[in-house]
Amino acid sequence: TQLLEQSPQFLSIQEGENLTVYCNSSSVFSSLQWYRQEPGEGPVLLVTVVTGGEVKKLKRLTFQFGDARKDSSLHITAAQTGDTGLYLCAGAWYTGTASKLTFGTGTRLQVTL
Amino acid sequence: DVKVTQSSRYLVKRTGEKVFLECVQDMDHENMFWYRQDPGLGLRLIYFSYDVKMKEKGDIPEGYSVSREKKERFSLILESASTNQTSMYLCASSLQAGTTYEQYFGPGTRLTVT
């Protein structure tokens, strides 16, 4: 069973600060997805990274896939209160019958004024 | 607008009851998934289905079964609910091929077993 460890588990910062969330595994994944989940809702996809070393930017969010495709990071620049939520990384792999995701343990981010 | 709907947002059941959680997607997706979400544990896969009447166990299938009689509908069944099945249950769907397709999630069902 693949495992994905996320750190930190909780993060409480003030608006304007920068932060980085890490997602680590001993397994290699075909791709790595990042989701954000808000209270009372299901997770929503932010980005998918596929190639080792790939970097993707989504406005103030920067996602990186490790060279060996075992780890990933999410960096938020100048956090805003609207960034508050649960961030989940998920490693994708193919079982032979379907594509599955293994989810990380999650990072709960709180951004305050 | 893509949509995954779940039959209930909140459910309270008694120990030993049979519980049905229903999920419907309108995207014609081949794959459907049931997860449970618990604090500090992330999302854990219970079962998934890659076609009508086809299913595979996920990481934590004990105490659960599933049914997929139609492509758009995937049901999770708790044969005899227990208190350790109190959790948030999330349904998701995705396209069949490849590992880059996103999973679309429903809003979740918060189940409490007393």
Q: What is the pLDDT of residues A50-86, one digit of tens each?
A: 999 999 999 999 999 999 999 999 999 999 999 999 9
Going along chain A from its start, the domains and CATH numbers come out as: 5-112 (2.60.40.10)
With respect to residue B114, please indicate whether it lies within any of the assigned structural domains: no
Question: Measured at the alpha carbon of residue A86, what is the angle toward residues A80 and A92, in degrees to the nearest 5?
Answer: 120
In this structure, what CATH number is given to the domain that contains residue B49?
2.60.40.10
B78 assigned to some structural domain: yes
Residue B111 lies in a domain: no
Is B94's CB within 8 Å of A99's CB? yes
Residue B1 within a domain: no
Name the residue range of residue B45's domain. 25-97
Percent of chain A at pLDDT above 90? 79
Confidence of residue A88 (pLDDT cuts 50, 70, 90): very high
pLDDT band at B99 (very low <50, low <70, confident <90, very high): low
Which chain B residues contact residue A50 at CB under 8 A?
Answer: 100
- Strands of the sheet with B19-25, listed across from one edge: B4-6, B19-25, B73-78, B64-70
Q: Please give, rounded to a whole number of angstroms, the shortest distance from the CA of B4 to a CA of chain A.
A: 10
B108 domain residue, yes or no: no
B14, part of any domain: no
| Number of domains chain B contains | 1
**Mean pLDDT, range A98-106, rounded to an integer:** 87
State the smallest CA–CA distance between residue B112 and chain A in angstroms.
Answer: 15
Chain A residue numbers with beta carbons less than 8 Å from the beta carbon of B107 are 40-42
Residue A106 with chain B: CB contacts under 8 Å: 40, 42
